[in-house]
């Protein structure tokens, strides 16, 4: 380990392997980390024994949706997080780095339905002996009509069984990638503890008036049969037709609107135009009659009406789209819903249609899909003469549930909402201020948060009409008529949580009073998956748990330090977590957020299952190694998309192998016997005070600069910039410095027969040791396996590189003195020029140079080369005069490092050794 008091590194050198390579390192070191508990988190204590929050770096790790398939996007973003975690650990922090699994939600249910060939029928009772008809359907979709109906409890058990299998695959991936997660700190979003947290938070929201229920229009997915929140919307292009339809005044004069949804004519409550539209200003306040149904509706003004869209006047139906909801609320229009939750037209003629002909037409559409109903209505419009011309094809943007296949409908139903600033302007302003407090990495992502908050048009709909998820902890009294009293929910006490109201009974009631007059009924809806995921900081830090260990954990880790996540879920996960922490804890949930970009395929298209361009992460890890794949991921900046590039992985693999080879070379010097095999273990002291040669001191100066700049970049969450700095100097160190100093390090006599002094040899050994030991630590967050291997060559039995300290610049600055860090660049270019002579002559690099002149671009270059001339001459095999001059040319700017060679002469190439028989 590094002695921080005197900066001397005491190395306990282990025996070196005959051959080095990256294969096999992952299994070796994963096992060691598990056995040693390298990444296990323990609560640090201050001098009084209290949890020391300042000593902790806590990470709110994204819980992946385990029903989803693995792809390299997971590797990409989780590598970024792990680099940060490893760096903070080396900076002396106790890193709290848990992992969760997002089990609940629609994706899990959909996968279970298809995997086992089942569906829920709430009328069925639990069957403890149920066995599903399938155990995996090889990706084939099982149609709903072929799925076996089972009870809700049976279905939930299958969800739990399948997610447990999926979680093993995810954990295997993270382990193979080398993530430094404490695997004792795991949770499930559907488990007992998360349910207790989610239900407790909801009950407190309810008590404070932040959670409420109401009958209101909500976006509805007819496939999943559930309400959908604004944050889960995805706007997609959808084929449609514009229909020019006549509404008529009392005298039969037409006024035309254009609509893509004529099947909603029966739901029309008004015609709306912009108040500034001169074409329609004279009509505001007048009435017209809807075609076919003869319903009297007003013509009204609203600023959201678009003058340049269609006819400039539109019908407001309850409901065709989000704008209809806005108009309905603002103008206090009548509620006239005609679409059921299944996406079909209601089964009875609504009471606002009194015309007998209109009633007959509506009866033709009863129970029909919207597509079929549209055909019926259009045909009747042709017959009545109210359709002007034929429908015109158009492309329209339509809302879909992000995981759905059909356009969303808007239906009216009782739902639960949580305040989020969508209707409360004071809360909106507070959440915008929270956004200013949060450190976004990169900072330009902040505007996405602000745009989302400013664009909210309603509170957060948190209820879902599904089965696998966290239940609302509520019951309702049932009145004498058998109707639930939704205005007076029955709540449990917090010490009773978690509960399932469909199985548990509220205090003061018995099970036989369930769903009977005078008794109670359970809330059957469950919480939206984000309603649980938005509480991950509270879940992982054990918020409000009664035991002392949990209380200490919360004090040590909350508010958390980092939320890493994808840029596409700022509106969902990041924002909703901010909302929950603001309402409950009155603070930010974390100080920083690191936002990763997307992975693009080689054609620069986003990878997705639907496009069929996803790469399974196991393949590149097995092909190139985890360090190489991590190198590719870590080379990308936060917030920017990156192309899947196996070429980058090859470079990463080469970097890992080079680190192994260079370190072995440096440690093997002086430890070889007569048979040239590496000898037994030994030790070494690398004292910066022993760095005495000018070239070696220049290397220390450059290393100090790299450490200082890399540290600055890492502190700014710019891990890719730090990697570039470290890697660039590492290759310069290997390609230039090691080549220049190799002979001196071995103590080899130069061309004149002069042997380097013991101090010069010691200086080379020390520089090699200090440099490569520093590179092991600098590269450790990026390449944990290769760096752990070389660390144990240098520090046998002294612990992991990942619990060692991140290097600081001061010891290397002390060794450098006033040395010019550019000296290594000058010397490297000089050596490259000498070797270039031989390349041009197409002779061996061992060919002697009888004489040469090195021409530097300026006096500083001449001085730098002069100071390292002995090493340059020896590395370049210069046996005769080697002189240095300043290039007298206007083409050589003073600030550029340029070296040219002239007046040179090559000797005879060495004779080739005969091949051994």
What is the tally of helices (H) and strands (E) in the chain?
26, 31
* 208-224 average pLDDT score: 85
| SS3 per-residue string spanning 848-877 | CEEEEEEEECCHHHHHHHHHCHHHHHHHCC
Per-residue confidence (pLDDT) for residue 670, from 0 to 100: 66
Per-residue confidence (pLDDT) for residue 468, from 0 to 100: 77
Most confident of 11-20, 38-47, 320-329: 38-47
* 222-226 average pLDDT score: 75
Helix (H) or strand (E) holding 196: helix 192-207
As beta bridge partners, residue 397 has: 237
Helix (H, G, I), strand (E, B) or coil at 289: strand
Main-chain dihedrals φ then ψ at residue 655, nearest 5 degrees: -60, -45
Q: Among the residues of 48-148, which ranges form H helices?
A: 72-90, 106-116
User: To 10 degrees, what angle do helices 758-779 and 739-746 make?
Assistant: 130
What's the rounded Cα separation, in Å, for the pair 338 and 326? Answer: 18
Percentage of residues of the chain with pLDDT beyond 70: 93
Per-residue confidence (pLDDT) for residue 682, from 0 to 100: 82
Helix (H) or strand (E) holding 477: strand 475-477
| DSSP summary character for residue 121 | -
As beta bridge partners, residue 854 has: 884, 901
What's the rounded Cα separation, in Å, for the pair 470 and 104? Answer: 8
User: Contact at 8 Å (CB) between 610 and 71?
Assistant: no
Q: What is the largest CA-CA distance in the chain?
A: 118
Cβ neighbours for 565, distance < 8 A, ≥ 6 positions apart: 62, 77, 573, 574, 593, 594, 595, 596
Q: Is 411 exposed, middle or buried (0-12, 13-18, 19+ CB in 10 A)?
A: buried
- pLDDT digits 0-9 by tens, 516-534: 999 999 999 999 889 999 9
What's the rounded Cα separation, in Å, for the pair 565 and 582? Answer: 19
Most confident of 426-440, 631-645, 869-883: 426-440
Cβ neighbours for 122, distance < 8 A, ≥ 6 positions apart: 151, 152, 524
Q: Report the candidate in 66, 62, 90, 95 with the shortest Cα–Cα distance to residue 76.
A: 62
Confidence grade of residue 68 (pLDDT, cut at 50, 70, 90): low
Q: What is the CA radius of gyration of the chain?
A: 36
What's the rounded Cα separation, in Å, for the pair 205 and 430? Answer: 17
Q: Higher pLDDT residue, 191 or 763?
A: 763
Helix (H, G, I), strand (E, B) or coil at 806: coil
Helix (H) or strand (E) holding 449: helix 446-455
Query: Omega before 126 cis (within 30°)?
Result: no
**Quick one: tokens of 657?**
């192998």
- Whether residue 120 is predicted with pLDDT greater than 90 in this model: the reply is no
* 578-594 average pLDDT score: 98
- pLDDT digits 0-9 by tens, 33-51: 999 999 999 999 999 999 9
User: Contact at 8 Å (CB) between 219 and 233?
Assistant: yes
Most confident of 8-17, 127-136, 629-638, 908-917: 629-638
Per-residue confidence (pLDDT) for residue 443, from 0 to 100: 96
Which pairs from 168-174 meet CB under 8 Å and 24+ separation?
A: 169/70, 170/64, 170/66, 170/70, 170/74, 170/101, 171/99, 173/70, 173/74, 173/75, 173/617, 173/618, 174/78, 174/99
Per-residue confidence (pLDDT) for residue 504, from 0 to 100: 92
* 458-472 average pLDDT score: 86
Length of the chain as a residue count: 917
User: Contact at 8 Å (CB) between 850 and 906?
Assistant: yes
Per-residue confidence (pLDDT) for residue 679, from 0 to 100: 47
* 132-161 average pLDDT score: 79
| DSSP summary character for residue 604 | S
- Whether residue 4 is predicted with pLDDT greater than 50 in this model: the reply is no
Main-chain dihedrals φ then ψ at residue 835, nearest 5 degrees: -70, -30
What's the rounded Cα separation, in Å, for the pair 301 and 310? Answer: 16
User: Contact at 8 Å (CB) between 720 and 637?
Assistant: yes
Helix (H, G, I), strand (E, B) or coil at 397: strand
Cβ neighbours for 139, distance < 8 A, ≥ 6 positions apart: none
**218 HSE (CA, 13 A, CB side):** 28
- pLDDT digits 0-9 by tens, 738-750: 999 999 999 987 7
- pLDDT digits 0-9 by tens, 361-400: 999 999 999 999 999 999 999 999 999 999 999 887 778 8
Query: Omega before 559 cis (within 30°)?
Result: yes
User: Contact at 8 Å (CB) between 599 and 77?
Assistant: no
As beta bridge partners, residue 658 has: none
* 140-152 average pLDDT score: 78
Strands (E), 326-459: 392-401, 409-418, 439-441
| DSSP summary character for residue 735 | I
Helix (H, G, I), strand (E, B) or coil at 479: coil
- Whether residue 151 is predicted with pLDDT greater than 90 in this model: the reply is no
Helix (H, G, I), strand (E, B) or coil at 274: coil
Percentage of residues of the chain with pLDDT beyond 90: 63
What's the rounded Cα separation, in Å, for the pair 788 and 769? Answer: 16
Per-residue confidence (pLDDT) for residue 838, from 0 to 100: 87
Lowest-confidence segment of 75-89, 211-225, 294-308, 770-784 by average pLDDT = 211-225
Q: Higher pLDDT residue, 238 or 572?
A: 572
What's the rounded Cα separation, in Å, for the pair 411 and 126? Answer: 31
Helix (H, G, I), strand (E, B) or coil at 9: strand
* 282-298 average pLDDT score: 96
User: Contact at 8 Å (CB) between 245 and 390?
Assistant: no
User: Average per-residue pLDDT in the chain?
Assistant: 90
Confidence grade of residue 608 (pLDDT, cut at 50, 70, 90): low
Lowest-confidence segment of 419-433, 678-692, 803-817 by average pLDDT = 678-692
Which pairs from 495-503 meet CB under 8 Å and 24+ separation?
A: 497/195, 497/196, 497/199, 497/200, 497/203, 497/473, 498/192, 498/195, 498/196, 498/199, 498/470, 498/473, 499/199, 499/471, 499/473, 500/471, 501/471, 501/472, 501/473, 501/474, 501/475, 502/152, 502/471, 503/153
**Quick one: tokens of 811?**
């010891």
Query: Could you tell me the CA-to-CA distances from 655 to 143, 168, 630, 734 in Å, in that order?
Result: 51, 31, 12, 11
Per-residue confidence (pLDDT) for residue 674, from 0 to 100: 36
Per-residue confidence (pLDDT) for residue 894, from 0 to 100: 58
- pLDDT digits 0-9 by tens, 881-890: 999 999 865 5
User: To 10 degrees, what angle do helices 646-668 and 719-732 make?
Assistant: 50
């Amino acid at each position: 380990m590094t002695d921080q008091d005197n900066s001397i590194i005491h190395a306990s050198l282990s025996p070196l392997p005959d051959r080095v390579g990256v294969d096999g390192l992952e299994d070796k070191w994963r096992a060691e980390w598990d056995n040693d508990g390298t990444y296990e988190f323990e609560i640090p204590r201050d001098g009084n024994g209290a949890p020391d929050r300042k000593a902790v770096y806590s990470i709110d790790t994204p819980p992946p949706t385990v029903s989803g398939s693995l792809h390299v996007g997971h590797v990409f973003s989780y590598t970024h997080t792990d680099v940060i975690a490893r760096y903070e650990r080396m900076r002396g922090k106790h890193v709290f780095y848990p992992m969760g699994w997002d089990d609940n939600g629609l994706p899990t249910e959909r996968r279970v339905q298809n995997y086992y060939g089942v569906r829920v029928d709430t009328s069925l009772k639990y069957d403890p002996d149920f066995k599903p008809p399938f155990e995996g359907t090889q990706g084939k979709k099982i149609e709903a009509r072929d799925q076996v109906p089972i009870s809700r409890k049976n279905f939930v058990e299958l969800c739990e069984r399948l997610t447990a299998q999926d979680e093993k695959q995810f954990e295997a991936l993270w382990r193979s990638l080398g993530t430094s997660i404490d695997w004792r700190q795991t949770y499930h979003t559907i488990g007992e503890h998360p349910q207790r947290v989610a239900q407790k938070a909801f009950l407190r929201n309810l008590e404070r008036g932040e959670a409420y229920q109401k009958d209101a229009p909500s976006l509805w997915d007819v496939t999943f049969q559930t309400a959908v929140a604004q944050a889960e919307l995805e706007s997609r292009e959808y084929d449609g037709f514009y229909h020019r339809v006549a509404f008529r005044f009392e005298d039969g004069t037409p006024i035309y609107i254009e609509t893509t949804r004529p099947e909603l004519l029966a739901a029309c409550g008004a015609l709306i135009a912009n108040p500034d539209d001169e074409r329609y200003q004279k009509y505001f306040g007048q009435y017209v009659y809807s075609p076919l149904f003869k319903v009297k509706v007003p013509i009204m003004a609203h600023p959201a009406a678009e003058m340049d869209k269609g006819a400039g006047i539109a019908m407001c139906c309850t409901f065709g789209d989000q704008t209809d909801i806005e108009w309905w609320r603002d103008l206090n229009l009548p509620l006239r819903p005609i679409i059921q939750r299944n996406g079909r037209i209601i089964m009875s003629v609504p009471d606002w249609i009194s015309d007998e002909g209109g009633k007959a037409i509506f009866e033709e559409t009863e129970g029909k899909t919207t597509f079929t109903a549209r055909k019926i209505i259009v045909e009747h419009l042709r017959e009545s003469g109210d359709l002007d011309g034929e429908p015109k094809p158009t492309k329209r943007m339509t809302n879909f549930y992000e995981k759905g296949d059909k356009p969303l409908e808007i239906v009216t139903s009782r739902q639960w909402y949580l305040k989020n600033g969508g209707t409360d302007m004071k809360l909106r302003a507070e959440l915008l201020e929270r956004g200013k407090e949060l450190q976004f990495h990169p900072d330009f992502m902040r505007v996405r948060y602000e745009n989302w908050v400013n664009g909210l048009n309603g509170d957060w709909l948190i209820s879902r009409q599904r089965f696998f998820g966290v239940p609302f902890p509520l019951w309702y009294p049932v009145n004498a008529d058998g109707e639930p009293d939704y205005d007076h929910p029955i709540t449990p006490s917090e010490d009773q949580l978690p509960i399932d109201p469909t199985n548990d009974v509220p205090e003061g009631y018995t099970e036989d009073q369930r769903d009977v007059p005078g008794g109670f009924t359970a809330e059957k809806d469950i919480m939206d998956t984000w309603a649980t995921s938005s509480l991950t900081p509270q879940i992982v830090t054990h918020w409000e748990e009664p035991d002392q260990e949990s209380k200490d954990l919360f004090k040590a880790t909350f508010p958390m330090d980092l939320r890493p996540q994808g840029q596409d879920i700022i509106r969902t996960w990041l924002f909703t977590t901010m909302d929950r922490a603001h309402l409950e804890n009155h603070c930010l949930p974390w100080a920083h957020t690191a936002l990763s970009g997307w992975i693009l395929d080689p054609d620069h298209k986003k990878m997705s299952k639907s496009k069929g361009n996803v790469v399974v992460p196991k393949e590149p890890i097995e092909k190139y190694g985890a360090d190489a794949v991590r190198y590719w991921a870590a080379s990308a900046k936060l917030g920017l998309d990156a192309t899947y590039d196996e070429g980058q992985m090859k470079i990463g693999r080469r970097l890992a192998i080079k680190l192994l080879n260079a370190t072995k070379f440096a440690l093997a010097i002086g430890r070889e016997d007569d048979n040239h095999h590496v000898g037994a273990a030994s030790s070494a002291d690398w004292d910066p005070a022993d760095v005495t040669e000018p070239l070696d001191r220049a290397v220390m100066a450059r290393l100090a600069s790299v450490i200082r700049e890399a540290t600055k970049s890492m502190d700014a969450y710019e891990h890719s910039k730090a990697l570039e700095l470290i890697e660039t100097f590492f290759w310069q160190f290997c390609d230039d410095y090691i080549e220049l100093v190799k002979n001196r390090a071995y103590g080899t006599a130069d061309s004149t027969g002069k042997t380097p002094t013991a101090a010069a040899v010691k200086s080379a050994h020390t520089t090699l040791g200090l440099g490569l030991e520093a590179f092991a630590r600098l590269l450790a967050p990026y390449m944990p396996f290769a760096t752990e291997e070389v660390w144990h060559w240098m520090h046998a039995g002294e612990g992991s590189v990942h619990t060692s300290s991140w290097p600081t610049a001061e010891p290397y600055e002390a060794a450098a003195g006033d040395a010019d860090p550019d000296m290594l660049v000058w010397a490297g270019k000089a050596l490259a020029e000498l070797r270039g002579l031989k390349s041009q002559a197409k002779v061996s690099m061992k060919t002697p140079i009888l004489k040469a002149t090195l021409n530097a671009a300026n006096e500083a270059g001449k001085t730098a080369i002069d100071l390292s001339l002995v090493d340059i001459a020896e590395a370049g095999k210069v046996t005769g005069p080697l002189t240095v001059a300043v290039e007298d040319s206007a083409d050589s700017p003073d600030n550029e490092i340029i070296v040219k060679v002239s007046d040179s002469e090559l000797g005879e190439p060495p004779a080739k050794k005969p091949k051994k028989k």
